[in-house]
């Protein structure tokens, strides 16, 4: 997920990337007042007659979402303060490679311990046999507070080290100027906003994407979806995301080093593409959005894998086998890694997950839903998707809502065959171009210059 800016020289674009992220927050405060004034003027001009509705889907959706929208302005100011402090200290240069390794490893271990303690704390408060959860959890809450304090000390150092390591690897792929990534690799681990996805009902196609408050409760999410669906006759879904290509980029807290390095690289690739035709045209067509997301997913996976191999070789096996704690839906890509509701495997003694081919079943669901929608059978398609949602639940996957918006979001991440993308030809075409390219750098430089799916089709047919 990414912010997209017009062409300019690199320095100007970096400034614009920051400014636009800030303006996203400022707009939330300003445009509601301006919108109200415009409506009042129109009302006066039309003599009190019915008002003209906003034409753009996003504008119409924002009539429902304004009270819940995420404030990028305040977040960006805070994140830039953290990044400037890191740069002033020059943390990575004060430690050798062994120290870098220890800092990142300790940060990840602390994060996992925090996840486990938070889960245990929730269990104490949920257990009907515990009559005084406050007393029962006193020792655990003290430990949790100490862990979070230590994590807060290490987080800026770990971020700075990982930024340097990502920069070194992307330089080897020829994605830098004079050895410097443009824009520089900047990310901040933070609670991420939710994302409201709006799709047409008669066709799986994203029509709007709006960032919402990071602490929006699930009941408020469901209430908002219902109001949007009823008011606009659309399919909507509030989804969690794992990263956002603002500037600095936003990355969700995790203890999974493989996922973390992949996501840092994925979001930086979005920033890099923003300086080129593919990224500039991100929102032009659904095909270009899928091209962008699939490209970033492929590149993020390859760059992340090289970072693990070079800097953390002994952690590769642990990273492959690690399960993200239950309830932490990272959501950036196809949700093949959704934790089973029955088997939070990071808890000792947990049962093994029942064998179930999630990707194959999700692929079948998407293909069948597309077929029904193409035949004009909207209600039948929606009933079918609900039946499939219950089927996934029975097999251990807690998907709150399975609808057109679900597939409009997850289907854009097509770096792996099958899954929520169904029979969409865009993902396979991007993967084929990567297979035909001599290196990741060559692949990125070629696809970055494209501004239509037709160009991609022509490139792979040569």
Query: What pLDDT was estimated at residue 88?
Result: 66
220 with 174, same domain: the answer is no
pLDDT at 42 over 60: no
For the chain, what is the domain count?
2
- Summarised one tens digit per residue, pLDDT across range 377-423 is 999 999 999 999 999 988 888 889 999 999 999 999 988 888 899 89
Mean pLDDT of the chain: 82
The string of DSSP codes covering 119-178 is HHHHHHHH-TT-S-HHHHTHHHHHHHHHHHHHHHHHHHHHHHHHHHHHHHHHHHTT-EET
207 with 170, same domain: the answer is no
- The more confidently predicted of residues 309 and 53 is 309
278 with 349, same domain: the answer is yes
- The more confidently predicted of residues 119 and 126 is 119
pLDDT at 91 over 80: no
pLDDT at 263 over 90: yes
Read off the pLDDT band of 52 (50, 70, 90): very low
- Residue range 194-198: mean pLDDT, rounded: 96
Q: What are phi and psi of 237, to 5 degrees?
A: -160, 130
212 with 353, same domain: the answer is yes
- Summarised one tens digit per residue, pLDDT across range 411-462 is 999 888 888 998 999 999 999 999 999 999 999 999 999 999 999 999 999 8
315 with 337, same domain: the answer is yes
Q: What are phi and psi of 332, to 5 degrees?
A: -70, -45
Read off the pLDDT band of 95 (50, 70, 90): low
CA Rg value for the chain: 23
165 with 68, same domain: the answer is no
Backbone angle region of 204, left / alpha / beta, with phi > 0 → left and psi within -120 to 50 → alpha: beta
Angle between helices 286-311 and 257-274 (to 10 degrees): 130
143 with 277, same domain: the answer is no
**Bridging pattern class, strands 235-239 and 194-199:** antiparallel
pLDDT at 348 over 70: no
362 with 294, same domain: the answer is yes
127 with 261, same domain: the answer is no
Query: What pLDDT was estimated at residue 320?
Result: 53
164 with 213, same domain: the answer is no
Question: Residue 132 is part of which domain span?
Answer: 93-181
Q: What are phi and psi of 452, to 5 degrees?
A: -160, 155
The residue from 162, 181, 200 where one domain ends is: 181
Q: Does residue 90 sit in helix, strand or coil? A: coil
- Summarised one tens digit per residue, pLDDT across range 273-304 is 999 999 999 989 999 999 999 999 999 999 99
25 with 164, same domain: the answer is no
Query: What pLDDT was estimated at residue 43?
Result: 40
The residue from 134, 151, 181 where one domain ends is: 181
- Summarised one tens digit per residue, pLDDT across range 360-373 is 999 999 999 999 99
pLDDT at 353 over 60: no
339 with 388, same domain: the answer is yes
Q: Which of 173, 459, 451, 452 lies closest to 304, judged by CA?
A: 173
CA distance 270 to 264: 10
- The more confidently predicted of residues 87 and 77 is 77
Query: What pLDDT was estimated at residue 179?
Result: 84
Query: What pLDDT was estimated at residue 414?
Result: 86
pLDDT at 4 over 90: no
The residue from 124, 159, 181 where one domain ends is: 181
């Amino acid at each position: 997920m990414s912010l997209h800016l017009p062409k300019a020289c690199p320095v100007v674009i970096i400034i614009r990337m920051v400014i636009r992220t800030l303006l996203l927050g400022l707009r939330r405060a300003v445009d509601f007042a301006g919108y109200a004034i415009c409506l009042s003027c129109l009302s006066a001009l039309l003599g009190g007659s019915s008002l003209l509705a906003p034409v753009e889907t996003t504008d119409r959706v924002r009539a429902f979402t304004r009270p819940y929208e995420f404030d990028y302005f305040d977040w960006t100011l805070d994140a830039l303060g953290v990044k400037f402090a890191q740069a002033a200290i020059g943390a990575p240069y004060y430690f050798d490679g062994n120290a870098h390794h220890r800092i990142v490893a300790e940060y990840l271990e602390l994060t996992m311990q925090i996840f486990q303690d938070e889960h245990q704390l929730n269990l104490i408060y949920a257990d009907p046999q515990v009559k005084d959860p406050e007393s029962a959890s006193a020792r655990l809450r003290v430990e949790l507070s100490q862990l979070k304090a230590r994590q807060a000390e290490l987080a800026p150092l770990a971020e700075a080290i990982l930024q340097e390591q990502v920069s070194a690897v992307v330089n080897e792929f020829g994605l830098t100027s004079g050895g410097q990534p443009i824009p520089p690799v900047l990310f901040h681990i933070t609670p991420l906003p939710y994302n409201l996805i709006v799709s047409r009902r008669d066709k799986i196609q994203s029509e709007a994407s709006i960032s919402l408050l990071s602490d929006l409760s699930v009941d408020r999410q469901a209430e908002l979806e219902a109001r949007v669906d009823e008011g606009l006759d659309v399919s909507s879904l509030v989804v969690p995301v794992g990263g956002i290509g603002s500037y600095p980029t936003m990355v969700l807290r995790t203890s999974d080093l493989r996922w973390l390095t992949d996501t840092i690289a994925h979001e930086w690739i979005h920033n890099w593409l923003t300086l080129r035709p593919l990224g500039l045209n991100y929102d032009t067509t659904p095909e270009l959005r899928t091209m962008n997301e699939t490209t970033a997913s492929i590149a993020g996976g390859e760059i992340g894998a090289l970072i693990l191999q070079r800097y953390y070789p002994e952690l590769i096996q642990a990273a492959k086998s690690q399960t993200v704690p239950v309830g932490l839906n990272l959501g950036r890509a196809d949700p093949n890694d959704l934790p089973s509701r029955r088997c939070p495997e990071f808890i000792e003694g947990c049962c093994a997950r029942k064998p179930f081919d999630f990707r194959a079943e999700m692929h079948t669901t998407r293909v069948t839903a597309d077929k029904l929608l193409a035949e004009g059978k909207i209600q039948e398609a929606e009933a079918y998707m609900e039946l499939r949602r219950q089927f996934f639940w029975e097999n251990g996957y807690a998907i709150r809502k399975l609808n057109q918006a679900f597939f409009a979001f997850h289907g854009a991440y097509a770096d792996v065959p099958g899954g929520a993308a169904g029979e969409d030809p865009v993902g396979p075409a991007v993967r084929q171009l990567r297979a035909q390219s001599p290196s990741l750098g060559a692949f990125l430089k070629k696809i970055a210059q494209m501004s239509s799916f037709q160009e991609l089709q022509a490139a792979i047919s040569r």
